Each structure stands twice: as C-alpha cells, then as structure tokens.
C-alpha cells in the first residue's frame, strides 16, 4: 500500500510539474537592456540642438518663464520706452499708445509701426519671391515686463496686418519646466 501511495504521489507530482512548467521562472539578463538605454540617452543628449540665443534688446527687461524655446535669429521688435525693430528706434511707447488708427476697420492698428513692419515684410517677400502672402519668417517681440497688455495687443495686431503670421513673445528662461500636469503651460 505504501508503494501505491508513493506511485500515485509521484504521478500527481509529474502531472503538476508538466502543468506548471510554463510558469517556471526564466532568467532575464538585464545588462544588455541597461546598456541599450544608456546608449539611447547618450546619443539623444549628444545630438540635441540648443540653438543660438538672441541678445535681448537694450533697455528691455524680459519676464521670466520656466518653459519655451530659446530665441533664434529672427526679426525682433523691442518694447521698453521705445519701440524698436532690430534695435532701430521707430517710435516711443507713449506715441504708439496714443496713435489713432488710420483704418476704421482696424482700430488697433499703429500706423507708423505698420509702415515699418510692412517694409520689412515686403523685403522678405521680394527676397523669397512670395507675392502678397503672409511672411513665414518668425517675428519675436521682446516686451518689457512692465508693458501694458493693451499696447501689446495693438503691436501684435499691427504685425499680423503687416503680414507676419509667426509671432512669438520672448521671455527669460529661469530654470527647469514644472512637473507635467497633462496640459500645456501658458507662460
């Protein structure tokens, strides 16, 4: 009877072993996996482009931000006590804020700034052979952090009417971006 019990027991063990063979632990070698991840991180950091930093317009104190791209060489409007285009003075901010629009359909238009931006846009269009379409070049606005939003709105509307469709607001980058919240930051 003891022999039958051991035979039955060994048969059960054999069935269990065969049944659970697929669940046996398999040895996993992590060294090649870690090496691959290190190589990916190294190459991504080594090939990342940082871009050239545009010097900030004289007399302009930019606001700070934790996200955003670095500034590239582009047409730049500086706004502090004066409004400048690529460091060439156009008018004072007081004149711009008080300037009435000469187009009744566009009440935010600043005529003197519009003329200067239109000359820049026309020269870009002529150089690229674009005709009378929007200019694909970027226009960066370096606005002092004490600037009035009403003036910023007028300048952006004037730039759009002059033909610039890619307008960016430049800020000082102060550090790492905040933790991701699942939605883009609006700085």
Residues 45-66: tens digit of each pLDDT: 776 655 545 566 677 766 665 5
- 64 Cβ contact list (under 8 Å, min separation 6): 171, 172, 173, 174
* CA distances, 53 to each of 49, 86, 112, 181 (Å): 12, 15, 29, 28
H-state helical runs in 74-177: 93-98, 111-128, 149-162
Mean pLDDT taken over the chain: 77
Task: Classify 21 as helix, strand or coil.
Answer: helix
Give CA–CA dist 131/125, Å, rounded: 6
Provide mean pLDDT across the span 128-137: 82
35, HSE (Cβ side, Cα atoms, 13 Å): 4
Give me the mean pLDDT over the 163-167 stretch. 86
Is 20 a residue whose pLDDT tops 50?
Answer: yes
pLDDT at 98 over 80: yes
Q: 184 or 1: which carries more pLDDT confidence?
A: 1
- Measured at the alpha carbon of residue 175, what is the angle toward residues 170 and 180, in degrees to the nearest 5? 95
Calpha distance 89→79 (Å, rounded): 10
Work out the number of other CB atoms within 10 angstroms of the CB of residue 62. 17
Q: Which fold has domain 64-173?
A: Nucleotidyltransferase; domain 5 (3.30.420)
With bands split at pLDDT 50, 70 and 90, how would you rate the model's confidence at 17?
confident
Where are the domain boundaries for CATH 3.30.420 in the chain?
64-173
Give yes or no for residue 146 having a pLDDT over 60: yes
């Amino acid at each position: 009877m003891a022999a039958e019990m051991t035979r039955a027991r060994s048969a059960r063990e054999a069935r269990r072993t065969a049944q659970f063979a697929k669940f046996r632990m398999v040895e996993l070698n992590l060294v090649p996996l870690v090496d691959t991840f290190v190589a990916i991180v190294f190459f991504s950091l080594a090939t990342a482009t940082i871009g050239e930093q545009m010097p900030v317009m004289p007399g302009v104190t930019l606001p700070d931000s934790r996200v955003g791209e670095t500034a590239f060489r582009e047409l730049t409007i500086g706004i502090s006590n004066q409004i400048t285009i690529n460091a060439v003075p156009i008018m004072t901010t007081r004149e711009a804020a008080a300037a009435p629009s000469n187009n009744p359909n566009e009440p935010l238009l600043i005529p003197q700034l519009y003329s200067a931006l239109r000359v820049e846009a026309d020269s870009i269009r002529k150089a690229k052979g674009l005709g009378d379409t929007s200019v694909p070049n970027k226009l960066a606005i370096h606005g002092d952090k004490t600037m009035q939003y009403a003036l910023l709105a007028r300048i952006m509307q004037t730039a759009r009417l002059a033909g610039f469709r890619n307008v960016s607001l430049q800020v000082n980058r102060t550090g790492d971006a905040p933790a991701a919240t699942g939605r883009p930051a609006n700085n």
